[in-house]
Chains A and B, each alone.
Chain A
Amino acid sequence: MNNKVIQTENLTKTFGDFTAVNTISFDVYEGEIFGFLGANGAGKTTAMRMLSGLSTPSSGKASVAGFDVYRQTESIKKNIGYMSQKFSLYEDLTIRENIELFGGIYGLRGRLLQEKKMALLKNLELEDDQMKLVSSIPLGWKQKLAFSIAILHEPRVVFLDEPTGGVDPITRRKFWDLIYAAAAKGITVFVTTHYMDEAEYCNRVSIMVDGKIEALDSPDRLKITHAAGSMDEVFQQLARRAVRKAD
């Protein structure tokens, strides 16, 4: 795990006199599961938007999959996957249509797209359900489908913004099985979550407070340095220092 897939140096985003992201510097390595934690309003979403080429930084440097976040945003978009709880799939298209639509948007064509589609349906055991509307399938299926679609084009890195809200504990764990499998294939996983047990599944975790990264290490080492029994305690210690209270 020595290839850096994400590099940031003093990355900053200001809106008027408000500094949403304040000089953050970190690297994420190939095949790593990187947890990006912070309270609501800490600046996570703004940072993720810059890293996925959707928002131009105010200052600092960053590259994702080898591409510059100022000048090569289109190349970034082609080399990443993205999934969030809020936006993932088109509810009024079928499972199959969603795979074809997003696969096409990510640049897959012809036989390759067909092969990938069949492999995805087989892997999720959805062959018999492929003609179902996404609106009619359980939330847990949607999440697994959305994740599988986000990595259909085998991106270097996939961004997951609170991917697992609202499902039962077994379904949530099955989702993490997919994350582990993707990382084992070399896809870097960049994930935000409010479930602190999920923070433990990450190789390394960063915790943002008021726009700054206040801690970054493996879960085990974070617990030792903060004399805490769990990641929840570590998070509570750091996040309670927050001054700003905005979303």
Chain B
Amino acid sequence: MHKQNDSILVNRIIKGEQHLFNILIDRHKKYAFNIALKILDNAEDAEEVAHDSFIKAYKNLHKFNQESKFSTWLYRITFNTSITVKRKQHSKNEEIDDSKHNFQQAEVNLLEKKDQKHYIELALKKLPDVDQTIISLFYLKEFSLEEIADITKMEANNVKVRLHRARKKMATEMKNILKGEALNL
């Protein structure tokens, strides 16, 4: 249903009703933004990447092969753009990024110490960027493993292996975090 609606909208936008793109933005901005946020770990950068991804998607809408879902295509653009931005940031200023990350982490830690979701977020942040994206997309329950593989440019089997491995790692990580918290009490 969602897919059909998106593809109808895409066709109408291509024919000149560009104002309809606003509906697509509304529909997908939250996920695009959060995919970028998982990778970049900075709300401002994530918003910029999501913004650029939508514009890239609009400019290349006529090239969009409608065999896949619009959301899959858009999130692939977002994922690739985020990875590119992250690489640029790393090569530019690795030290500043690290100190910023630690500061944010400490700040969040003070505010939400007892929140279980916070522990999940912490454990998730310890995973590589690609694994974070795979976990996030998988738990949206909107994409099959094949679609996630399409977004992250991987084999479906590889995605499955990484998903299992990431969850195992997260379970261990959460155990360690909770152990550490219990020792601090």
Chains A and B bind each other: no
A-binding residues in B (CB < 8 A): none
